[in-house]
A and B are shown apart, each in its own frame.
Chain A
Amino acid sequence: DADVTQTPRNRITKTGKRIMLECSQTKGHDRMYWYRQDPGLGLRLIYYSFDVKDINKGEISDGYSVSRQAQAKFSLSLESAIPNQTALYFCATSEDQGSRAGELFFGEGSRLTVL
């Protein structure tokens, strides 16, 4: 089983609908992230959480919200989806220090299409 699991893997929805992307991890990491990937733009940080009570906005948080339900679960919500939120979304985790600091462990991605 994957260490970082994202659901759904693919979703097509309509403008104005509420969408939730879920992420769960078995790596035991405190730090979790949501990134968005667009062609030519690389990955951009939406939100990050360093523990259950610590949630922070990233570079492009407008139109998104998150919930850290437990150490292992971090959900991304689009309250009212719009077409320019069509993208590939990645959840990632990391250790907070030590030899593997800076190494992000990614899920396989959730492809979202907003019509």
Chain B
Amino acid sequence: AQSVTQPDIHITVSEGASLELRCNYSYGATPYLFWYVQSPGQGLQLLLKYFSGDTLVQGIKGFEAEFKRSQSSFNLRKPSVHWSDAAEYFCAVGDVVNAGNMLTFGGGTRLMVKP
């Protein structure tokens, strides 16, 4: 069965500092990987996704993520955090081809940004 682990429940960074949110997955085949963001009181919005090809993917709002097969990881990064990035971030894995859009989500990481 597929699973996703986000080891950090809460992270606090200063505005302007760099950010890395960790995601580790367990999946039997080639994974399809996603990062979603949930702002307070809102639904989830897709930040970026990896299907194949270049292992460094760019997303919206200046975020990027790197797929490392050897480490079963898909960490999310941003070089300079803005106060508006405070939100909860979810990593997800799925088999888009064989099982439709059946995503398994991690437990989430809540990001707080200090002024």
Contact = CB atoms under 8 A, between A and B. Distances in A.
Contacts of B4: 42
A63 interface: no
Contact of A106 (B32, B45, B101): B45
Contacts of A92: 43-44
B34 A102 contact: yes
B25 interface: no
Given A42-B108, A101-B96, A31 B101 contact: yes
Contacts, number: 60
B102 A48 contact: yes
A96 B42 CA distance: 24
A79 interface: no
Main secondary structure of the interface of A (DSSP, over half): strand
A4 B45 CA distance: 12
Contacts of B34: 102-103
B51 interface: yes
Contacts of B41: 108
Interface residues of B, number: 25
Given A108-B42, A108-B43, A40 B101 contact: no
Interface string A18-33: 0000000000000101
A102 B49 contact: yes
Given A43-B44, A44-B105, 8 more contacts: A40-B9, A45-B102, A101-B96, A101-B101, A102-B34, A104-B36, A104-B103, A108-B43
21 contacts: A4-B43, A33-B101, A35-B105, A40-B107, A42-B107, A43-B44, A44-B105, A50-B100, A92-B43, A96-B100, A96-B101, A102-B32, A102-B51, A102-B101, A103-B34, A103-B101, A104-B44, A104-B101, A106-B44, A106-B45, A108-B43
Interface of A: 4, 31, 33, 35, 40-45, 48, 50, 90, 92, 94, 96, 101-104, 106-109
